[in-house]
Amino acid sequence: MIFKEKKIVLVGWSTGTPVSLNFMKNYPDIKIVGLVSVAGFVNNTGRELNDKVVPYFLNIVNPQDNFGEVISGLDGIYRSTSFKPLSDELYAFFLGNSVMAPYEYSISAVVPYSLMEFYITLNIPTLHIIGEHDIITDMNIN
């Protein structure tokens, strides 16, 4: 297959970090040569959500039968968590993608996980990028 001839670097943003790590864990025959994590966690079990965003996260995960609250929570997250305001285009892109995400994906934002045991076995270059003003990803426990 074509991907076996290419050098693959996985880049995961936010939940993309555990998704990338789970991919590497579940498909060890696919050679990955590097991992870039952008504001994502390897182990989020020690994370405490910033008080500013807790209500928004509660809106997106509970209750799921009220779609207006889900949209309101997503809106709050995208309007309050970036240091600089998002462009209208990027805001619409994020909101559109998130609204279509399945419930299992939304809830993953608040479910504790640790991929540390797998992560420490990696022998490829990894780069973790965290914004100095990020209020969701804590640089100290990443």
Ligand X SMILES: *[C@@H]1O[C@H](CO)[C@@H](O)[C@H](O)[C@H]1NC(C)=O
Binding residues vs ligand X (CB under 6 A): 43, 45-46, 114, 116-117, 141
> Is 49:112 a contact under the CB 8 Å cutoff?
no
Interatomic CA distance for residues 126 and 48, integer angstroms: 24
Residue nearest to ligand X according to CB distances in the complex: 46
Minimum CB distance to ligand X smaller for 108 or for 114: 114
Q: Min. distance of Cβ 112 from ligand X in angstroms? A: 9
Minimum CB distance to ligand X smaller for 46 or for 96: 46
Q: Min. distance of Cβ 59 from ligand X in angstroms? A: 26
Minimum CB distance to ligand X smaller for 44 or for 98: 44
Minimum CB distance to ligand X smaller for 124 or for 141: 141
Neighbours of 23 (CB within 10 A): 14
Interatomic CA distance for residues 31 and 7, integer angstroms: 8
Q: Min. distance of Cβ 119 from ligand X in angstroms? A: 9
Q: Min. distance of Cβ 110 from ligand X in angstroms? A: 16
Q: Min. distance of Cβ 19 from ligand X in angstroms? A: 18
Interatomic CA distance for residues 4 and 97, integer angstroms: 30
Minimum CB distance to ligand X smaller for 116 or for 124: 116
Interatomic CA distance for residues 14 and 17, integer angstroms: 6
Least Cα distance to 14 among 111, 79, 109, 103 occurs for: 109
